[in-house]
Amino acid sequence: AGLAAGLAAQELAPKPVLRRLDSTARNLARAGKADEAREIVTILEKLGAGPKGLAVLRKTIARLTSKPKRVNRSALANATKALQGVVTRLAPGVSKLPPPRARALADILVSIDSNQREAREALGFARVDGTWLTAAAIKRRKRRVAIEDALRRARRLAVKVTVAASDEPLLRAVSERPGAVARWRDQLEVHSTWSPPQLQRVLTATLRGLAVSEWLVTGKLELPTRLDWKYWILLHSRADYRKAIDHAAKVGVLSDDEAERARHLSGFRGYKQFDIDWNRTEAETEASLITRLAHELSLPCLTVGHQNWICMAVFGTPVPGFQWHQRDGVTTALPGLRSELQRLSSVGLLGSRNWMQYLVRRGEDPAWSNAFVDQRGKISGDDLCKTTLVMDFLYEQGPVPKPFLEPLADNPDKATHIAHLAKGLPQPLGVFEQAWRDSLRGTTPSLLERLAGDATRFTADESAALRHLNKVREQALAISPYDKPPVKLDRALSAGATLHAAYLAKNPDQLTKWPDAHEEFPDREDFSPQGSWGGLHSVIDPDAPSPEKAIDDWMGTFYHRLPLIESGLLRIGWGYTKNIAVLDARSLCAPRAGDSTVLWPHPGMKDVPRHFVPELPSPVPGADQTTWGYPITLQVGPRSGRRGEHGIPDARITLYEGTASGTEVPCHYSTPRQPTNPEVAPPATYCLIPRSPLKKSTAYFIVVEIHQERVKTYRFDTVR
């Protein structure tokens, strides 16, 4: 009663508490924790602090954090103690204040300390398996298991695609290479300059993505029974696309005005019965097909969110044609954590969720109504990120509501959006959007948790893995022109990797099978959605005596090496149980930068191992991997030289023994267009696998040629 009686109507905390928080914010700024200091400013504002004092505090924080500082762990410990005291002082108000103000105070307390019992219970949470969950969150958790299982089953869905030579004249007009045509039932026919294996992979993956769309809408994981557009021509490069436009104009299919408009787009309709399209990579092509073939829902924001969710969850790429940027266009010079998290927003659902959690915690997430526009192409940046995650929240509650499948008139205005959404949302629009925010906030580490994480050192295994990986990456990226910041360990990713390692320890029969080792089955012991995600985005070593040995083993392979030295890798997760090593290097990896080039073994490398480390799947199916030599890989960025016919830089690597003009080493040679394993084609990546072990104490020379423009020679020496 004393606390409640002592508060002014506009305040939720007495003056001494406000002063203590003000002092804590300044101390955090001095300790180098700018984001946490700014978060306390937000908390002070919610507690009723005056605007003049807040303005002064903001300026002070900006001044104190204007230059980089080393984290002061002693100051963090003092700030932690002060915040714990604030929580203890304010907690009784949750039961003594009137309900609306009590809930507001509880929200603030949970943002400081997510384990504050009175606040959690006041907000309707219950403790389940060590986690605070609402009744609705418990239901969503069960639904998330079903979503992850549907994605897993979709990856194994049998799809019969036939491929043959194409006789389409347009392909002959744009390319000297013979074209191919892929057909699925009598529903889909795709002509392309892709190689037959590539075209088959693209169509198979697209149809599996469409099956996921069907499951999200109807609850049934099955291939579509009817497609709205049957005939396609897929091209790989803008040069081929422009030739196609010229050919269509020449034969009178496109007028001059139509041809000019098409040159500014990535596709056009009107050539015979075909839809013409071009993209650089297989994933981009699959995403492009999804935007034309997947379910269109009743409103543009629903359709874009639905299709973008599928593209990111199934293919790992956003819908084509959208730019990820803030509404004000700011993409650089953002402070600390904000800059990093904004970059993560473009690297998949998990990165998008991390970025939006950050905005929600600061009250800066865009209103969903920003996406209530009349055309899909107008939704971009944070609005696209939010509408995608709103759909994710909707999927956690069941199949897409039936009203959202009803066709509406074209170009709906905002009032139409609001009226129509009311028919399908489980709650009024405002309540639904707040529930979405609460669901994100519930998975966001509290202020005290983040400070404790900063003050706590990594385990010995985590430190060893991070240190060794960053050492390898520094060497691998030495010839890249871009900044090479060290990757960081992400606690959430590490939790998923650790759960998957524990799952494999309980289910060892999956360790020696692919893709089983990366999956979790819901009916098996220790299954978890978080572990399932971790397994699908990780490299795995079933018998690693140390973190360093696991990383060295992966570097001795073809497929498992690549994610570890991707130039865009930002954060990793590490799990290690009973010598089973799981490293999540795919969840938070940005697209490969510009003209980056990553070569391994790196130039001048000494003591290079002689043997290939066997992996699943095999890079050359049916061959004996134990007889091969250490592999050479080249990963090139999208602007590394002129593009070849398949839309990425044409490159060639050759290995010589002794001198750069010595004996050429016989190798298996995998390229994006002609992979040695037709089922697995890493984009823009070339690999030489010597057919025999390399000789000891021998100099080898790698000759790299990128589209006949740049020829460079690099030496490495094998172990003695």
pLDDT, residue 195, reads 85
- Pairwise CA distance, residues 395 & 280, whole Å: 31
pLDDT, residue 175, reads 82
For residue 6, being part of any structural domain is answered with yes
- Pairwise CA distance, residues 533 & 682, whole Å: 20
pLDDT, residue 595, reads 65
334 has pLDDT over 50 = no
For residue 164, being part of any structural domain is answered with yes
Mean pLDDT of 208-217: 97
Parallel, antiparallel or unpaired: strands 274-278 and 231-235: parallel
pLDDT, residue 2, reads 42
pLDDT (tens digit, 9 = 90+) per residue, 495-534? 889 999 999 999 999 998 888 899 988 888 888 878 888 8
Q: Which of these three, 441, 466, 482, is where a domain ends?
A: 441
The pair of three-digit structure tokens given for residue 362, joined into one six-digit string: 């600061």
Q: Which of these three, 441, 470, 489, is where a domain ends?
A: 441
pLDDT, residue 67, reads 79
Q: By the 8 A CB rule, do 600 and 564 touch?
A: no
Whether residues 496 and 600 fall in one domain: no
For residue 317, being part of any structural domain is answered with no
Edge-to-edge strands of the sheet including 667-670? 597-600, 632-636, 685-690, 667-670
- Pairwise CA distance, residues 546 & 535, whole Å: 19
Whether residues 554 and 470 fall in one domain: yes
pLDDT, residue 5, reads 41
Whether residues 516 and 623 fall in one domain: no
CATH number at residue 619: 2.60.40.3780
For residue 76, being part of any structural domain is answered with yes
Edge-to-edge strands of the sheet including 663-664? 663-664, 651-657, 699-706, 710-717
- Pairwise CA distance, residues 31 & 25, whole Å: 10
More confident call, 539 vs 198: 539
Handedness of CA 714, 558, 351, 638 (dihedral sign): positive
Whether residues 53 and 30 fall in one domain: yes
Of 83-87, 186-190, 264-268, 376-380, the one with minimum mean pLDDT is: 264-268
Which candidate, 191, 221, 383, places its Cα nearest to that of 310? 221
pLDDT (tens digit, 9 = 90+) per residue, 272-316? 778 888 877 788 889 889 988 999 999 999 999 999 999 989 887
More confident call, 357 vs 555: 555
Expressed as residue numbers, the domain containing 567 is 447-590
Handedness of CA 150, 155, 158, 159 (dihedral sign): positive
pLDDT, residue 321, reads 60
Whether residues 575 and 623 fall in one domain: no
Q: Which residue has the tokens 């040995």?
A: 549
Q: Which residue has the tokens 């002689």?
A: 610
Whether residues 417 and 461 fall in one domain: no
Whether residues 464 and 421 fall in one domain: no
- Pairwise CA distance, residues 107 & 114, whole Å: 9
For residue 305, being part of any structural domain is answered with no
The percent of residues in the chain predicted with pLDDT above 70, rounded, is 90
Phi-psi region of 451 (alpha: psi -120 to 50; beta: other; left: phi over 0): alpha
For residue 15, being part of any structural domain is answered with yes
pLDDT (tens digit, 9 = 90+) per residue, 405-426? 988 877 889 999 999 999 999 9
The pair of three-digit structure tokens given for residue 321, joined into one six-digit string: 């044609």
Residue 720 burial (10 A CB sphere; 0-12, 13-18, 19+): exposed
Q: By the 8 A CB rule, do 718 and 698 touch?
A: yes
Whether residues 31 and 165 fall in one domain: no
pLDDT, residue 343, reads 58
Q: Which residue has the tokens 């080898």?
A: 700
For residue 318, being part of any structural domain is answered with no
**Mean pLDDT across the chain:** 87
Whether residues 113 and 165 fall in one domain: no
The total domain count for the chain is 5
Cα angle for residues 686, 592, 265 (degrees, 5° grid): 100
Contacts of 432 (CB under 8 A, 6+ apart): 425, 426
- Pairwise CA distance, residues 583 & 538, whole Å: 5
Whether residues 544 and 660 fall in one domain: no
Q: Which of these three, 590, 610, 636, is where a domain ends?
A: 590
Whether residues 572 and 607 fall in one domain: no
Mean pLDDT of 558-565: 96
For residue 387, being part of any structural domain is answered with yes
- Pairwise CA distance, residues 393 & 401, whole Å: 13
Q: Which residue has the tokens 């959404």?
A: 421
For the stretch 432-459, what's the b/e string if a residue is b when 16 or more beta carbons lie within 10 angstroms of its beta carbon? bbebbbbbbbbebebbbebbeeeeeeee
Q: What is the model's pTM? A: 0.72
Whether residues 606 and 705 fall in one domain: yes
- Pairwise CA distance, residues 399 & 147, whole Å: 10
Q: By the 8 A CB rule, do 455 and 76 touch?
A: yes
